[in-house]
Structure 1
Amino acid sequence: MQLVLQNLSKTYANGVRALDNVSLTIPTGMYGLLGQNGAGKSTLMRTLATLQDADSGTAFLGDLDVLNQKEAVRRTLGYLPQEFGVYPRISATELLDHFALLKGVVNGRERTQLVEALLHRVNLFEHRKKAVSSYSGGMKQRFGIAQALIGDPQLIIVDEPTAGLDPGERNRFYNLLSEIGENVIVILSTHIVQDVMELCNNMAIIHQGRVLYGGTPSAAVASLSGKVWGKSITKAELPTYQQTHTIISSKLVGGKPQIHVLSEADPGDGFEAVVPDLEDVFFSEIQTGVARR
């Protein structure tokens, strides 16, 4: 099963071009969609989740036309949006039962068995009688995955799932997503580079509605081998280096800016070669992508 997108475009009424000819082939497994806030990730996710229309282009999940066979797509789709609202004072069991009924599981015994199995799978069974609104952030996200799994979906869309989670909750969520992604397409939309590094065998980088990179994280990192250089500078020196070098990232280390620059050759001036990582790829693609526009 593959999800194939061709030239998807979307422009809002205010003139913002949220998607600009997006073309991607997304295979079974964990697929990372990496981009800054406002890059177009949520617009793409909502379009694939059949919640809004694209202006042009195509999207096929196997033989299903995502843009024109919405009811059929919804039967094979699981979706965890960025803002997952829950009813107050309703327990996890009751809410999952309600979602299962909406998904078409009309037999009461089957629904009960399904709800219990899902709560076990996301490790919430012992908390099944508690109101979902009382759950921690990580527990709510795991509940969100449980509702997304109703109906054995072939495509699961997860939008910014780990924002606000503590390290322990994030790790538990990582493990759950990895298990799910063994057999279905899971699109992980995020601005957190670590999420993609930890989970995804394939990825894309999107910026200002355009796909800047599509492929494996390892190939992306390898493409920068020998091209990233680092140096510790003073804050006062930063504007000068911004004018004379292609700075792809700057962060404080010990109170002083540590800059990474992109250069085909040794820039000298005290720079040292840096082993690139996916964060370097992310910022370099955005930097060069902006320069190409």
Structure 2
Amino acid sequence: MQLEINNLNKQYGNGVHALKDVSLTIGKGMFGLLGPNGAGKSSLMRTLATLQDADSGNVRLGDIDVLNEKDKVRQVLGYLPQEFGVYPRSSAVELLDHLALLKGVKNTGERKALVNYLLQKVNLFEHRKKAVKSFSGGMRQRFGIAQCLIGNPKLIIVDEPTAGLDPGERNRFYNLLSEIGEEAILILSTHIVQDVRELCTQMAIMNKGEVLYHGGVDQALELIEGKVYEKSIEKGMLPQYRENYAVISDKLVGGKPLIHVFAEEEPANDFVKAEANLEDVFFAKINQLV
């Protein structure tokens, strides 16, 4: 089964053109959708999750017309939005049981077995009687994945799932996503480059509603291989370097800005060749350097 997105457009009433002729082909496994805030990622995810209509274009999930057969999509969809609300006093087991009932699991015994299985899968079984509202951010995200998995979905969408998680919880979440990504089409929408590098082999980069890159992660790195150079500079010199070089990014290292620049040939002024990384690709694409 593949997800085929063709020439998808969405413009809001305030004039924001959130999706501009977006076309992607996404197969089984983990797919990273990378872009800054406001790139159109959430608009695309909400459209795929049948939460809003597109202005034009078409989307097919196997034999399902996603834009016109929303009930069929919802039967095979697992969705973890950026803001996952929960009932204030419901325990994990109660809330998951309720969500399973809403998804059509009517048999009480079958539902109980499913709920216990899912809580064990996301390592929350020992916390099943605690209110979900009291969970840490990472625990709540793992609960969100548990509810995604009800009904053995064919398409799973997770929107900014690791934002705000500490490194330990992020690693646990990586492992969980990697495991479930083997069984379905899983779209990971994020602005965190590390998420995509750690988890995905296929990816897309979006900005201002447009797809700037669609392909393999390793192939993306090849676009800038051998063309990234770095240099530590004095504070206050960044505007001058931005004027004279194609600066990809800058970050503080040891209290001084370390800049990465894109160049076909080694630039002067003591630059050294840097090992290209996915963050360089991301910023190079966003800044239209490649």
Q: TM-score range by the shorter chain?
A: over 0.9
CA distance in 2, matches of 1:174, 1:139: 13
Secondary structure of 2:39's aligned partner: coil
Shift in Å at residue 150 of structure 1? Answer: 0.3
CA distance in 1, matches of 2:139, 2:78: 18
Aligned equivalent of 1:126:
126
Aligned equivalent of 2:215:
215
CA distance in 2, matches of 1:77, 1:149: 9
Secondary structure of 2:18's aligned partner: strand
What letter corresponds to residue 154 of structure 2 in structure 1?
A: Q
Secondary structure of 1:288's aligned partner: coil
What letter corresponds to residue 53 of structure 1 in structure 2?
A: D
Aligned equivalent of 2:16:
16
CA distance in 2, matches of 1:146, 1:264: 47
Q: Please tell me whether residue 185 in structure 1 is matched to residue 185 in structure 2.
A: yes
Shift in Å at residue 275 of structure 1? Answer: 1.1
Shift in Å at residue 182 of structure 1? Answer: 0.6
Aligned equivalent of 1:95:
95
What letter corresponds to residue 225 of structure 2 in structure 1?
A: S
Give the aligned length.
290
CA distance in 2, matches of 1:200, 1:60: 22
What is the aligned-residue RMSD (CA, Å)?
Answer: 0.9
Secondary structure of 1:247's aligned partner: strand
Aligned equivalent of 1:265:
265
Identity rate, percent: 68
What letter corresponds to residue 260 of structure 1 in structure 2?
A: H
TM score, norm. by length of structure 2: 0.99
Flag structure 1 segments of 5+ consecutive residues without an equivalent.
Answer: none
Secondary structure of 1:236's aligned partner: coil
Q: Please tell me whether residue 143 in structure 1 is matched to residue 138 in structure 2.
A: no
Aligned equivalent of 1:68:
68
Residues 93-125 of structure 1, C-alpha deviation per residue, up to 9 Å, x if partnerless? 110010001001111111111111111111111
Aligned equivalent of 2:86:
86
CA distance in 2, matches of 1:123, 1:238: 47
CA distance in 1, matches of 2:153, 2:24: 20
User: 1:170-181, aligned counterparts within 5 Å?
Assistant: 170-181=170-181
CA distance in 1, matches of 2:45, 2:68: 16
CA distance in 1, matches of 2:246, 2:211: 21
CA distance in 1, matches of 2:45, 2:105: 25
CA distance in 2, matches of 1:106, 1:183: 24
Aligned equivalent of 1:232:
232
Secondary structure of 2:237's aligned partner: helix
Aligned equivalent of 1:196:
196
Flag structure 2 segments of 5+ consecutive residues without an equivalent.
Answer: none
Shift in Å at residue 236 of structure 1? Answer: 2.2
Shift in Å at residue 132 of structure 1? Answer: 0.5
Residues 186-208 of structure 1, C-alpha deviation per residue, up to 9 Å, x if partnerless? 00000000000100011000000
Q: Please tell me whether residue 56 in structure 1 is matched to residue 29 in structure 2.
A: no
CA distance in 2, matches of 1:277, 1:256: 20
Residues 32-55 of structure 1, C-alpha deviation per residue, up to 9 Å, x if partnerless? 000001110000000000000010
CA distance in 1, matches of 2:109, 2:10: 43
Shift in Å at residue 8 of structure 1? Answer: 0.5
CA distance in 1, matches of 2:242, 2:224: 20
What letter corresponds to residue 199 of structure 1 in structure 2?
A: L
CA distance in 1, matches of 2:170, 2:120: 18
Shift in Å at residue 223 of structure 1? Answer: 1.5
Aligned equivalent of 1:43:
43
CA distance in 1, matches of 2:121, 2:288: 43
Secondary structure of 2:287's aligned partner: helix
What letter corresponds to residue 270 of structure 1 in structure 2?
A: D
